[in-house]
Amino acid sequence: MNNFSYIKAENTDQAISELDGDIRNKIIAGGTNINDLLRYFITKADKLVDINPFLEHNTVICLDNGGIRLGALCTNADTAYHPIIEERYPLLSKAILAGASAQIRNMATNAGNLMQRTRCYYFYDIHTPCNKRDPGSGCSAISGYNRIHAILGQSENCIAVFPSDMCVALAALDAVINIEGPDGKKVLNFADFHRLPNQTPHIDNNLLHGEVITSIDLPENGFPKNYSYLKLRDRSSYSFALVSVATAFDIENNTITEARIALGGVSHKPWRIREAEEFLIKKEPNSQNFAQAADIILKGARGYEHNAFKIELAKRAIIRNCIMALHPESQRTGAKPSL
């Protein structure tokens, strides 16, 4: 690690003041990713602003509009096991519990989950070119070992994927993100938070320097009757997704009235295509329709030397998870396949 100073901020205003809009001043909360990034010189800091004293942001509360608010500092474990989340937003609970390990979920915060960085091997190897770590240096993954990399939304500058499980569910559930900064408060739709790499892969999301995420809101409908989170990976636990799928349906009289499908492990952000969801409305929930939806979602997918298998894997995962969502009681620990 480089040498940095450290300060505890007692409230949002103090944190914003301490950050001072400077990219070298960074927030630390759970610390599960930034400690790693600092230790291996992938990122450097002049100052760490510890926001853990923000006790008002470490809870889950119900909102007047019927939705709920996840505190930015509520841990992933406390969120996943919260009675409201388990009962009304089980898709979110399952997705969180499919990620990381029990120890890391006890430490990692909800806002930190959004802010975590890719686990691309080359991003973490400071001896190789990486446009995300060192803009303009090149992408080692495109012609390197790219088994875990993107098949959708990538650019010629970066094929890294965003590693979160929780965020795949938040994308499917139409979360919104509450932010405070030097210019006041603002709200971002979840779909507008993370970015595709394009020409600027070093910028993961649209949070500006000096801004702080204070909470994440979910709308009233958490799809508790028909949901499923499927995570496919190289080992059965404590591993990042090769492909993951969050699926949620409202179904009446064997007809889909509302559909959500989001993918993880395939792009620089949680991947959601509204056209596919609209295709399923007023359709019967069956494999044929799910396969057509999968084709819409995966339109334009492109594989590389070691990850082309992900395209077919993603198609099968979408179909399988849509079927699993019809029987959510079959969900198993850690988002393991139930069929």
Partner 1 sequence: MMQTVRTHLISIKVNGEDYHLELLPWISLLDVLREKIHLTGTKKGCDHGQCGACTVIAEGKRILSCLTLGVMKDGSSITTIEGIADGENLHPLQQAFSDFDAFQCGYCTPGQICSAIGLLSEGKANTREEVQELMSGNLCRCGASKGVIDAIMQVKEGCGNE
Note whether 32 binds partner 1 by CB under 8 A: yes
Residue number, 12 or 93, with CB nearest to partner 1? 93
Told to check if 104 binds partner 1 by CB under 8 A, we report yes
Q: How many CA atoms lie within 13 A of 247 on its CB side?
A: 31
Q: Is 100 in the site for partner 1 (CB under 8 A)?
A: yes
Nearer to partner 1, 30 or 264 (CB): 30
The residue (of 199 and 236) whose beta carbon lies closer to partner 1 is 236
Q: What is the 3-state secondary structure (H, E, C) of the chain?
A: CCCCEEEECCCHHHHHHHHCCCCCEEEECCCCCHHHHHHCCCCCCCEEEECCCCHHHCCEEECCCCCEEEECCCEHHHHHCCHHHHHHCHHHHHHHHCCCCHHHHHHCEHHHHHHCCCCCHHHHCCCCCECCCCCCCCECCCCCCCCCCCCCCCECCECCCCCCCHHHHHHHCCCEEEEEECCEEEEEEHHHCECCCCCCCCCCECCCCCCEEEEEEECCCCCCCEEEEEEECCCCCCCCCCEEEEEEEEEECCEEEEEEEEEECCCCCCEECHHHHHHHCCCCCCHHHHHHHHHHHCCCCCCCCCCCHHHHHHHHHHHHHHHHHCCHHHCCHHHCCCC
Buried b (16+ CB within 10 A) or exposed e, 39-77: eeebbebebbbbbeebeebbebeeeeeebbbbbbbbbbb
Task: Map the footprint of partner 1 across residues 40-79, applying CB under 8 A.
Answer: 40, 46-48, 50, 52, 77
> To the nearest whole angstrom, how small is the minimum distance from the Cβ of residue 339 to partner 1?
17
Residues in contact with partner 1, total (CB under 8 A)? 33
Residue 206 binds partner 1, judged by CB under 8 A: no
Binding piece for partner 1, criterion CB under 8 A, among 97-105, 109-117, 165-173, 316-324: 97-105
**Contact call for residue 103 and partner 1 (CB under 8 A):** yes
Residue 302 in the binding site for partner 1 (CB under 8 A)? no
Taking residues 73 to 92 in sequence order and writing x for each that binds partner 1 by CB under 8 A, - otherwise, the string is ----x---x-----------
Residues 10, 23, 39, 287: which binds partner 1 (CB under 8 A)?
39
Options 11, 14, 35, 155; binder of partner 1; rule CB under 8 A: 35
126 binds partner 1 (CB under 8 A): no
Question: Which region, judged by CB under 8 A, interacts with partner 1, from 100-108, 163-171, 290-298, 322-330?
Answer: 100-108
Judged by CB under 8 A, the residue of 137, 143, 189, 237 near partner 1 is 237
* Residues 309-338 close enough to bind partner 1 by CB under 8 A: 332-334
**Choice between 105 and 272, CB closer to partner 1:** 105
Q: Which of 14, 36, 134, 258 binds partner 1 (CB under 8 A)?
A: 36
Return residues touching partner 1 (CB under 8 A).
1, 3-6, 22, 28, 31-32, 35-36, 38-40, 46-48, 50, 52, 77, 81, 100-104, 106-107, 237-238, 332-334
